[in-house]
Amino acid sequence: MLNIQNLHVKLADEDKQILKGLSLQIAAGSVHAIMGPNGSGKSTLSYVLAGREGYEVTEGSATLEGEDLLAMEPEERAAHGLFLAFQYPVEIPGVGNMTFLRTALNAQKKARGEAEVSSGDFLKLVRAKAKDLKIDAEMLKRPVNVGFSGGEKKRNEILQMAMLEPRMCILDETDSGLDVDAMKLVSDGVNALRDAGRSFLVITHYQRLLDHIRPDVVHIMAAGRIVRTGGPELALEVEHNGYADILAEVAAEAQAGAQA
């Protein structure tokens, strides 16, 4: 599904390298988690994949189902099935949530050469999906994310994901700012979307979220690269011992490698 090879990324207007040779392959239907300390480049990875301005890819590649993601505009990436659930969902005063959802859905369908959804069908669809996420009619009517609590914003991200039915979902610290109940609601929403044809990349600081969204593979990221890959037990290790142990091990290995 997603294939990232030796990705190097720097800030566009600053001489600061953030990703330093990151490689990652996610198979269709699997759920990968990326954990790592602050400043390791987790959010940069999600933004670069979604096509945000301000970053420059200096080396490496990223493909989605074999197609070059990095050559596409953000809207093309979305139409090809990439979805980023934002860590900080953006407020857009003056644009109604429903208008936003419908415009996005139909724009993607149009880009893929599919028929647009009628307003009647759209309404039925959005009401059903909103109900599962406990998003009421009032929230749907309001401007995008304006006046939403932290939890409501995250639920709104998952609603968008459910409506747009992407193939590759990236969740950037979706658990931040969520209480236990909201975390459960959001996780249930994500789990309901798990499917043999859909992959997830879950970026998080904490193991907590991974109790709800069980990953197949866990990666530890540090200083712009993936330094450890393992099963769900790796997340538990981080939970118990923090990152310090793993990072120390990685440093020792690197030193040993350099000496050999």
Partner 1 sequence: MSARAQRQAARLAATAGRLATLTLPAQPLWAAGARAAALQRLGAMGLPEKRDEYWRYTDPERLTAPETRPAEVFRITDERPMYEGIDRLRLVFVDGVFDPAQSDPVEGQGIEITRLAASGEIHWARDLYGTLEAAGQQPVARPLAALNSALATDGALIRVTGVVQRPVSLIYRRASGTADVSLHHVLRLEPGADLTLLENGPVGARSSIVIEADLAEGAVLHHVRTMGRDHQRKAITHLFARLGARARLKSFTMSMNGRLVRNEAMIWLAGEGGSAHLAGAALGDGVFHHDDTVFITHEAPRCESRQVFKKVLRDGAVGVFQGKILVHREAQLTDGYQISQSLLLDENSQFLAKPELEIYADDVKCSHGSTSGEIDPTQMFYLRARGIPEDEAKRLLVLAFLAEALAEIERADIAEDMHLRLRRWLDKRR
Nearest distance, CB of residue 105 and partner 1, angstroms? 8
C-beta closer to partner 1: residue 60 or 143:
143
Does 160 bind partner 1 (CB under 8 A)? Our answer is yes
Q: What is the DSSP string of 197-224?
A: TBEEEEEES-SHHHHHS--SEEEEEETT
- CA-based nearest residue to 4, from 129, 168, 178, 192: 168
- CA-based nearest residue to 163, from 213, 109, 110: 109
| One of 79, 171, 190, 202 touching partner 1 (CB under 8 A) | 79
Nearest distance, CB of residue 93 and partner 1, angstroms? 6
Bridge partners, residue 92, by sequence: 144
Nearest distance, CB of residue 18 and partner 1, angstroms? 18
Say how far apart CA 114 and CA 108 lie, in whole Å.
8
Nearest distance, CB of residue 69 and partner 1, angstroms? 13
Say how far apart CA 51 and CA 31 lie, in whole Å.
22
C-beta closer to partner 1: residue 190 or 247:
190
Query: By CB under 8 A, how many residues form the interface with partner 1?
Result: 29
In the chain, what's the furthest Cα-to-Cα distance? Answer: 67
Give percent helix, percent strand, percent coil of the chain, each to the nearest 5: 45, 30, 30
Q: Contact region for partner 1 (CB under 8 A) — 48-56, 120-128, 192-200, 228-236?
A: 48-56
Helix H or strand E segment including 4: strand 2-11
Does 94 bind partner 1 (CB under 8 A)? Our answer is yes
Say how far apart CA 206 and CA 36 lie, in whole Å.
9
Nearest distance, CB of residue 205 and partner 1, angstroms? 22
Does 103 bind partner 1 (CB under 8 A)? Our answer is yes
| One of 28, 57, 70, 95 touching partner 1 (CB under 8 A) | 95
Does 43 bind partner 1 (CB under 8 A)? Our answer is no
Nearest distance, CB of residue 42 and partner 1, angstroms? 17
C-beta closer to partner 1: residue 37 or 143:
143
Helix H or strand E segment including 45: helix 42-50
Question: Using CB under 8 A as the criterion, which residues of the chain lie in contact with partner 1 when the complex forms?
Answer: 50-53, 73-75, 77-79, 84, 86, 89-90, 92-95, 99-100, 103-105, 107-108, 111, 143, 160, 164
